[in-house]
Structure 1
Amino acid sequence: MPASDDAGATGALARKKPRAGRNLPVAVAVGVGLLLVVGASLFFRPEPFVLLATCAVGAALWELSQALRRRGINLPLLPLLVGTVGILVSSYYSGPEALFVSFMLTVAGLVVWRVIDGSGVPAVRDAAAGTFAAAYLPFMAGFVMLMLAQEDGRIKVLLFILLAVANDVGGYVAGVFFGRHPLAPTVSPKKSWEGLAGSFVLATAVGVVGAVYGLGASPLLGLALGVIAPLTATVGDLAESMIKRDLELKDMGSLLPGHGGILDRLDSMLLTAPFVYLFLSAVA
């Protein structure tokens, strides 16, 4: 091969690598493993999934606390973790009112905790960050618990998770092979409009199959879910990207090889959960 061709091939590979971004075999293996764990937790009874979700949100809170330390912000982690258990468990067993009340109690508890602690930087900043963390993670995750408590709740939660997976996989594949036009270059340079289209296509297919064969509902429900999920998931993903960019981080953690941290997997799901819950509550 001529030197110019070899250089051109090397340049093409260098240009292509950033699109893929991660170690694909490792990412696929970890992703499939996570999906199997989630499926197993939903198989017999819903309670194992509640425990799994609580552990995942707790780990994500820990990652967020470590990331915010880069800016001198100290999350009141202990009251947040206690509040996470209260929010998720009470949401599953007692409904929307319990979700709201337990969230407010968590915020009150972390503010009091931080004021009593009184160490380091002004307490107001840490308390505000803690309130954001409580709203961003356990409160949003509480809508998944509300979904789980509904009739056919395990199927709805599984469909919700598969929609999130379809959004990621469809966007990744379409972005790698067809991505040409950046979606939000200043926030997440690798995201493209072509990738978003791929998310819509695969999420719609999953939504239709899940609605018809999982819930016995109209295909129109699946079409609507296939539109809602990628929109909210993309906003959630871009929101976390803005946080990471401000903190000068590539990933929120390294607990999931090939994916980054727990929060890097939950970011798109967190904002999607309340919309899917409200939509399924009104229609399904």
Structure 2
Amino acid sequence: MTDLPEPLPPASRRASAERTPRAGRNLPAAIAVGVLLLVVVGASLWFRAEPFVALVAVAVSAGLWELRAAFQRRGIQLPIWPLVVGGVGMAVSAHVGGPEALLVSYVLTVAAAALWRVLDGPGKDAPRDVAASAFAATYVPFLAGFVVLLLGQHDGRWLVALFILLAVANDTGGYIAGVLFGKHPLAPTVSPKKSWEGMAGSVVLTTAVGVVGAHLVLDKPFLPDGGHPLLGSSLVLGLVLGFMTAVTATVGDLAESLLKRDLDLKDMGSLLPGHGGVLDRVDSILVTAPFVYLVLSVAVSGPAA
């Protein structure tokens, strides 16, 4: 019989705890992977739209694959191939045909996944699997399609870059404020490490990025005046983008945390060191994308500054 290791002395336990980041991440790996992802996204946006659409399609496929593996822990079977093909089709449809094409592709994907599952063998679990397939098609490729729709706007590459920077600012501001000042849990039963102080840090940094980005990317006047609509000023637009991004990103992060808790998972995958899986990295982005698309679409379509 193998002897159990003796417990560490108090001094060793303290030293071990000091080496572990308060937010629970492998910080050097998380930073390195985060910078690499930013470089890849920036490179895909640099010359043409197609490489970025291909990158979205790859991320969608990886996210669906992670979701399939996670759902299998509860005996839920996702028809992965119609979901992956449909997910890629949604990204391409959004780029080629706009919102209407994205919606049609989404409906066809849900219908194809449902038919595939029923033909695979009807039974008492079929309705549950069909419902899970509809959730998967909505949560990953349909929401991701709004990022591709944003790319189709005037100066779309810069709008996508602004959207990505807002997401980075949300994570960075929340992480720094949470580590330095976090004392009051935001949702202790869902995500114990999230705090109200971290939420405030997210709002501050996303608002700053939103104001500067609206001024530089959209060339909006800083203050509203009588000749422009409310979202025609970089100050108001930045405040709206910053607050809305922080709120929706936090909701998306908490929703995925709730899903992982129900599935008894720490991470959805292990593809991205320091971050977990693809879904762990894009959970907040997916929920935020439709709202940022709507606000920036209204701002871009308004009278020119």
Q: One fold, TM greater than 0.5? A: yes
Report the alpha carbon displacement of residue 220 of structure 1 after superposing the two structures with TM.
Answer: 2.1
Alignment of 1:194-273 (within 5 A): 194-217=197-220, 218-273=234-289
Determine the C-alpha separation between the residues in 2 that align with 1:129 and 1:10: 43
* Alignment pair present for 1:79 and 2:85: no
Match of 1:150 among 136, 148, 153: 153
Alignment of 1:70-149 (within 5 A): 70-118=73-121, 122-149=125-152
Could you say which residue in structure 2 is the equivalent of 1:186? Answer: 189
Query: Which amino acid in structure 1 is aligned with residue 49 of structure 2?
Result: P
Determine the C-alpha separation between the residues in 1 that align with 2:199 and 2:42: 26
> Alignment partner of 2:193: what SS?
strand
Determine the C-alpha separation between the residues in 1 that align with 2:23 and 2:251: 21
Do 2:21 and 2:27's aligned partners in 1 also have CA atoms closer than 8 Å?
no
Determine the C-alpha separation between the residues in 1 that align with 2:218 and 2:209: 12
Determine the C-alpha separation between the residues in 1 that align with 2:13 and 2:178: 21
User: CA 1:100 to 1:130, structure 2 compared with 1: closer, same or farther past 3 Å?
Assistant: same
Report the alpha carbon displacement of residue 20 of structure 1 after superposing the two structures with TM.
Answer: 2.3
Determine the C-alpha separation between the residues in 2 that align with 1:49 and 1:18: 33
* Alignment pair present for 1:14 and 2:30: no
* Alignment pair present for 1:47 and 2:63: no
Report the alpha carbon displacement of residue 7 of structure 1 after superposing the two structures with TM.
Answer: 4.7
Report the alpha carbon displacement of residue 208 of structure 1 after superposing the two structures with TM.
Answer: 1.3
Determine the C-alpha separation between the residues in 2 that align with 1:274 and 1:216: 22
Determine the C-alpha separation between the residues in 1 that align with 2:141 and 2:104: 13
Determine the C-alpha separation between the residues in 2 that align with 1:13 and 1:116: 54
Report the alpha carbon displacement of residue 170 of structure 1 after superposing the two structures with TM.
Answer: 0.6
Match of 2:33 among 10, 30, 34: 30
> Alignment partner of 2:22: what SS?
helix
Report the alpha carbon displacement of residue 27 of structure 1 after superposing the two structures with TM.
Answer: 0.6
Larger Rg: 2
Determine the C-alpha separation between the residues in 1 that align with 2:68 and 2:26: 26
Match of 1:278 among 294, 298, 305: 294
Determine the C-alpha separation between the residues in 1 that align with 2:145 and 2:185: 33
Query: Which amino acid in structure 1 is aligned with residue 198 of structure 2?
Result: G
Do 2:269 and 2:276's aligned partners in 1 also have CA atoms closer than 8 Å?
yes
Query: Structure 1, unaligned stretches of length 5 or more?
Result: 1-5
Report the RMSD for the aligned CA atoms in angstroms.
Answer: 1.8
> Alignment partner of 2:127: what SS?
helix
Could you say which residue in structure 1 is the equivalent of 2:229? Answer: none
Could you say which residue in structure 2 is the equivalent of 1:165? Answer: 168
Determine the C-alpha separation between the residues in 2 that align with 1:230 and 1:9: 38
Report the alpha carbon displacement of residue 219 of structure 1 after superposing the two structures with TM.
Answer: 2.7
Equivalences, count: 279
User: CA 1:181 to 1:202, structure 2 compared with 1: closer, same or farther past 3 Å?
Assistant: same
Q: Which whole-Å deviations, capped at 9, do the CAs of 1:4-62 have from their partners, x for residues lacking one? A: xx958954973894622111011100000000000000001111000000000110000
User: CA 1:121 to 1:17, structure 2 compared with 1: closer, same or farther past 3 Å?
Assistant: farther
Determine the C-alpha separation between the residues in 2 that align with 1:232 and 1:16: 32
Determine the C-alpha separation between the residues in 2 that align with 1:26 and 1:86: 33
Could you say which residue in structure 1 is the equivalent of 2:4? Answer: none
Determine the C-alpha separation between the residues in 1 that align with 2:184 and 2:14: 20
Determine the C-alpha separation between the residues in 1 that align with 2:18 and 2:185: 15
Determine the C-alpha separation between the residues in 1 that align with 2:19 and 2:189: 20
User: CA 1:112 to 1:22, structure 2 compared with 1: closer, same or farther past 3 Å?
Assistant: same
Could you say which residue in structure 1 is the equivalent of 2:303? Answer: none
Higher helix share: 1
